[in-house]
Amino acid sequence: MDKQAFLNHVMTAAPVVPVVIVNDVAQAVSMSRALVAGGLPAIEITLRTPNAIDCIKAVADEVEGAIPGAGTVLSAEHMAAVEKAGAKFMVSPGTAPKLIDAALDCSVPLLPGTATASEMMALGEKGFTHVKFFPAEAAGGADYLKSIASPLPQFRFCPTGGVSMKNAGSYLSLPNVLCVGGSWVAPANLVEEGDWAGIEALAAEASRLTRAA
Ligand code: 3PG
């Protein structure tokens, strides 16, 4: 399966990709089990904590059914580390040229962040069709993706940033949106409290969202 086809598989596994910030390995494992149990198998673990790489490795090794991804991937060094840890996909906030070149050399597919037609076109020249739209609400929201569908029909999006249960439906009703990303399904207070049943319930609610694509 080529990288864009694999990203398509990741993005259609569920309507929501949880975006998580976690530092404790045991919490990462329990939280991921809850997300998978709630119906959200693809999980973006951001590289924003000192132990994020260990969290990705633990989820990859120990959580049956999870599709662990690495988020906030900003460099070739990050890519090498998350590839070794067992990440199945990577997500970046933007499309820095060196990062994109490194992604072409990495075995793990990258879902790069985009917010403009020019960024999408530049990625299209490198073979990308599956991208993140970030920061979705601040960058124009569902109206922006609706506008881009006719001139750039080849792209499939995961809008992320400011997405919640309130507005996820407006994105998921668009034919060029395969899933949305968001942190609301694994809020920091529930992680700190170890409220895994609460996280499973939020995931289950999110997994029932329907999409057009
Ligand atoms: C992030 O940058 O943390 C992600 O885009 C998630 O954004 P959110 O917290 O608005 O869901």
Per the omega criterion (within 30 degrees of 0), is the bond before 175 cis?
A: no
Residue 211 lies in a domain: no
Give the number of the atom of ligand 1 that is nearest the alpha carbon of residue 19.
Answer: 6
CATH number for position 117: 3.20.20.70
Please list the alpha-helical segments (H only) found in the chain: 3-11, 25-37, 52-62, 76-85, 97-104, 117-125, 141-148, 168-172, 188-193, 196-207
Residue nearest to atom 1 of ligand 1 (CA): 161
Residue 212 lies in a domain: no
Coil/strand/helix, residue 46: strand
Q: Give the count of domains, the chain.
A: 1
Look up residue 184 and give its two tokens: 């609301």
What is the reported pLDDT for 1?
77
What is the reported pLDDT for 212?
83
Residue 213 lies in a domain: no
Side-chain-facing half-sphere of 139: CA atoms under 13 Å: 22
Q: How far, in Å, from the CA of 43 to the mean position of ligand 1?
A: 13
What is the reported pLDDT for 145?
98
Task: Judge contact between 99 and 112, C-beta under 8 A.
Answer: yes
What is the reported pLDDT for 97?
95
What is the pairing mode between strands 67-71 and 130-133?
A: unpaired
**What distance lies between CA 41 and its chain's CA centroid?**
11
Residue 15 lies in a domain: yes
**Bridge partners (DSSP) listed for residue 113:** 132
Rounded to whole angstroms, the Cα distance separating 34 from 38 reads: 6
Residue 49 lies in a domain: yes
What is the reported pLDDT for 155?
98
What is the reported pLDDT for 211?
87
Return per-residue pLDDT of the chain as tens, 213 residues.
Answer: 799 999 999 999 999 999 999 999 999 999 999 999 999 999 999 999 999 999 999 999 999 999 999 999 999 999 999 999 999 999 999 999 999 999 999 999 999 999 999 999 999 999 999 999 999 999 999 999 999 999 999 999 999 999 999 999 999 999 999 999 999 999 999 999 999 999 999 999 999 999 887
Rounded to whole angstroms, the Cα distance separating 82 from 63 reads: 16
Residue 200 lies in a domain: yes
Q: How far, in Å, from the CA of 163 to the mean position of ligand 1?
A: 8
Q: Which domain holds residue 152?
A: 3-206
User: Is the pTM of the predicted complex or chain greater than 0.85?
Assistant: yes
The preferred substitution site among 17, 19, 44 for testing ligand 1, maximizing ligand atoms within 8 Å of CB, is 19
Residue 149 lies in a domain: yes
